Structure 1
Amino acid sequence: MSVLEIKDLHVSVETDQGTKQILRGVDLIINEGEIHAIMGPNGSGKSTLAYTIAGHPKYHVDSGSILLDGAEVLTMTVDERARAGLFLAMQYPVEIPGVTVTNFLRTAKTAIDGEAPAIRTWIKDVRESMVKLRMDKSFAERNVNEGFSGGEKKRNEILQLELLKPKFAVLDETDSGLDVDALKIVSEGVNRAKENTGLGLLLITHYTRILRYIKPDFVHVFVDGRIAEQGGPELADRLEDEGYDRFLTETPVG
């Protein structure tokens, strides 16, 4: 069974005012097939955790460790992390002018697997995934995210998730900007990926609405760069009712 383990992670970033510590000792274990939701107020460090796992150069790891099946992720380059089985669905997917969705997907799949997928099977898989995500077939020949709506960009992220088949995925506020229909479609895609591959999932969100469609096994409250409380799905319902105020006056516990 694959395991992603974060140990006592401290991360800082350079700002105009100097070095600012964002993560202050994060501990988290995600097993294959588990869904962990991270919720918390703005500025609590949720996205910093996501981008640190992915290897964004902006974030400096002061101490701690991220292990994927016992291998130290922090010593890996971004592409090595992807080949090892990590995936990040970005909160704000970027446009890539001049690169079609078809070429991007096949190039990424080839880079991760070490060999190009068989054309006939690959085309079939891409078409089937696009149909399930309610993406018009014309999107395959459009440039990546160029002129896409917010919902279309998020569907394209989940298309990559389904086709690249990572071991663990971090979804950074994938629900932001989605209407109800798009939220259901995106959630169905995430659930399919989990069912088909045993995907482990770290789902970052402000709101409980996506958790109605993607059922978490664990919910973690993130405050001031740490996990302040953790529990089961019922914790998300409590946050919906009470908000985060009580955590802002308490001392985080882990």
Structure 2
Amino acid sequence: MSLQIKDLHATLEDGTEILKGVTLEIPKGEVHAIMGPNGSGKSTLSKVISGHEGYVVTSGSVTMDGENLLEMEVDERSRAGIFLAFQYPSEVPGVSNANFIRAALQARLPKGEEIDAVAYYKHLYSKMDLLEMDRKFTARAVNEGFSGGEKKRNEILQMIMLEPKYALLDETDSGLDIDALKIVAKGVNSMRSEDRGFLLITHYQRLLDYIKPDHVHVMSAGRIVRSGGPELALELEETGYDFLKELAPA
């Protein structure tokens, strides 16, 4: 069982091609990291998988455990088991964190089945404690007035509560100091299991000091141009992306 991306091509709505033939497989139980320079298509890949309306898939396929994701609406992909942690989480004024997560969980239940409120809050509080989040965040509007680190922790809280089959983390380390990074990594690591796959998108190796990947891929100009083990991230930290110049067309 895996998340499979085969020869995926995607454009912006104006026709500008961003993804130019991405092929990648993320089996359950594995953590894959994608690194690469700005503008290489990393974030676009995560948004296309999750169904962002700003992109058009022109060819290729994305399947999750054999299901065709590209035929699903955004909410269907989420209920099927895809989760995207945004690089820049949005604010949702007027909706409390507790109600937001509860509604998302309720949407996954069979019709007529209700969430047990006592069990829900007990579980929510335990995960907030794991992420060192104050209980007052349950009553605050989603991400409204949150610091960058608080928003990222809130994204991980949502992921933990929703228990996706495949989690896509788009630069979750962006803007985090070392203490916040360790807390976020602890939350992610608590979710690692044989029944879940992860795709980490990052510029920097430091995230991978705390969330150890099974595989590292380099993306450039809309394609994955190199893959390897965790040692590849260390190599990139030392040498940068100069080798990509050799791959550029003359």
- So what's the TM-score if we normalise by structure 2? 0.96
Separation in 2, partners of 1:116, 1:32: 29
**SS in structure 1 of the partner of residue 20 of structure 2:** strand
Residue in structure 2 matched with residue 11 of structure 1 by the alignment: 10
Supply the AA of the counterpart residue of 1:10. Answer: H
Q: Which residue of 2 aligns with 1:224?
A: 221
Deviation at 1:28, TM superposition (A): 0.5
Local SS of the residue matching 2:192: helix
1:243 aligns with 2:240: yes
What letter is aligned with 2:153? Answer: R
Residue 177 of structure 1: CA displacement?
Answer: 0.3
Q: Which residue of 1 aligns with 2:174?
A: 176
Match of 1:131 in 2: 129
- Percent identity, please: 57
Question: Pairwise CA RMSD of aligned residues?
Answer: 1.2
Secondary structure of residue in 1 paired with 2:53: coil
Deviation digits for residues 210-236 of structure 1 (CA, Å, limit 9, x no counterpart): 100000000000000000100000000
**Contact 1:109–1:116 (8 Å) recurs in 2:** no
Q: Does 1:149 align with 2:147?
A: yes
Supply the distance in 1 between the matched residues of 2:87 and 2:109 (Cα, whole angstroms). 25
Q: How many residues align?
A: 247
Find the aligned partners of 1:140 and 1:71 in 2 and give their Cα distance: 34
Equivalences for residues 198-209 of structure 1 within 5 A:
198-209=195-206
Aligned to 1:49: 45
Query: 2:95 aligned with 1:99, yes or no?
Result: yes
Q: Distance in 2 between matches of 1:27 and 1:116?
A: 40
* The 10-residue stretch of structure 1 (104-113 or 180-189) with the greater mean CA deviation from structure 2: 104-113
SS in 2 for 1:44: coil
Unaligned runs of 5+ in 1: none
Structure 1 position 251, deviation (Å): 5.2
In structure 1, which of residues 149, 156, 159 is the aligned counterpart of residue 157 of structure 2? 159
Choose which of 45, 65, 68 in structure 2 pairs with 1:69: 65
- 1:60 and 2:56 are equivalent in the alignment: yes
What amino acid is the match of 1:216?
P
The 1-side partners of 2:151 and 2:132 are apart by 12
The code of the aligned residue for 2:3 comes to L
Distance in 2 (alpha carbons) for counterparts of 1:248 and 1:210: 25
Q: Residue 56 of structure 1: SS of its match in structure 2?
A: coil
SS in 1 for 2:99: helix
| Equivalence map 1:191-202=2 (5 Å) | 191-195=189-193, 198-202=195-199
Match of 2:24 in 1: 28
What is the distance in 2 between the residues matched to 1:46 and 1:97?
Answer: 29
